[in-house]
Amino acid sequence: MTALLLLAANVAVYAAFAASGGGLVTADSQMLIRWGSNFGPYTADGQWWRLLSAAFLHGGLVHLAVNMLLLADVGRLCERLFGWRRFLLLYLLSGLAGSAASVWWNPQVNSVGASGALFGVLGAVFVYMMDRRNGIEPGIMRTHAASMAIFIAYGVVNGLVSTRIDNAAHLGGLAAGAILGFALGRPPGPARVEPLRMAAGIAACVIAIAGLLALTPNTRAGFEAERQFQDALKAFSKEEERLVASLRSVIAKAQAPGARGTELKPEGVALAIGWEAQRQRFAALPVGPESKLHVLHQDMVAYTASRHRAMGELVRAFEDQEDGRARVREFNRLMKEGDAIVERIRQRNSKDAKG
C-alpha cells in the first residue's frame, strides 16, 4: 500500500507540474528549479528541503514511467519484506542519500527523480536476500538476487556511459539502501528487528548524508555572478549595435568635406563614455576562475576596454589636428585589437559547438 501511495504521490506531483506549464513530455529545467529540484547552488545555500522534494519531481514522461514501473514492482516486494514503516524509512533515507551524493559530486547539479530512492530499494532487497538470517529459501534467493544484481550493474554502468544520468544519485541511494537492508532486515513472521543494528544503520546513513553536505561547497555566489554576466551579455548586444551605429555616423561626418573635429568631439566623447560604461559593467561582475564563463568574461572586459581606448584616441584626433593622423592610426590598431578578441570568441564558440 505504501509503495502505491508513493507512486500516486509522484504521479500527482508530475501532473500538477505539467498543468502549471512545466511540460508534459519533457520538463522545463527552470520550472523544475522553482518546484524544488536538487539544484546545487540553491541546495547548498541552505535550501536543504530540495534533497527530498527533488525525489518527487521528474524530467519527463518517460523518466516518470520507468521509475514508477520499478516502484510498483520492486517497491511492493520491498514493502512486503520490510513492512511499510521500514520500507518508507529506507525509501526516504535512500532518496536523501542519493540527492546528497549528487550535489556533493557536482555542486552545479540540477537533478530530479526517484532514482536514488529506487536504487536504495533495490540495494535493500538485494542485501535482504543475500542475508541468510532472513530465512529466504536458497533457490529463490539465487534467482532473484542474480537478476537484481544484473539490473543494478546495468543501471550503474549505463550511468557511467551517459552524461545525462545522475549516477552519483544512483550510487548514493544504492549504498544507503544496502546499509539499511542489512540494518532493518528480519525473518518473516513475529521476529523483531534488532534495535542496536537498526539504530546503527540509520545513524550511519544520517552521518553519511550530513558528511556529504558538509563537504559540498556553496556555489550560490558564483552561480549568481554567472547569471548576472549572462544578463549583461544580452543587454550588451543591443547597446553594442547602438554604439557601432553611432561610430559609423561619426566617421562618415569626419570624412565629409569641411568637417571640423571640434564639432565632432562631443559625439566621440559620448562613444568613449558608452564603451567605458560597458567595460565597468563587465569588470564589476565577480566571475571567478572556477567558472566555465571565466575566459569569456575576461574577453568581454578586454574587448570593451579596447573599444574604450580606441574612442579615446578618436577624441584626441578631433582635439589635435596636427597629431591627428597618428591618433587615427592608433585608433585603427585598437579597433583591430578588439576585432581579434571577437574572432577569438567566435572560434571558441564554434569549437565548443562541434565538440
Catalytic annotation, pick one of 102, 115, 291, 306:
115
Is the C-alpha dihedral spanning 249, 253, 256, 261 positive or negative? Answer: negative
Output the CA–CA distances (angstroms, integers) from residue 51 to 119, 214, 244, 292, 311, in the order listed: 16, 14, 48, 25, 52
Percent of the chain that is helix, strand, coil (3-state, to 5): 80, 0, 20
CA distance 119 to 111: 15
State the cell numbers at 291: 567558472
Q: Indicate which residue of 58, 170, 297, 308 is catalytic.
A: 170
Residue closest to 266 by CA, chosen among 248, 244, 245, 250 = 250
Contact 69, 142 (CB under 8 A): no
Report helix angle 195-215 to 167-184, nearest 10.
160
Catalytic site includes residue 115: yes
For residue 294, indicate whether it is catalytic. no
Beta carbons of 90 and 184 less than 8 angstroms apart: yes
Q: Write the DSSP assignment of 54-85 as a string of letters.
A: GGG--SBHHHHHHHHHHIIIIIHHHHHHH-HH
Active-site residues, by number, are: 115, 170
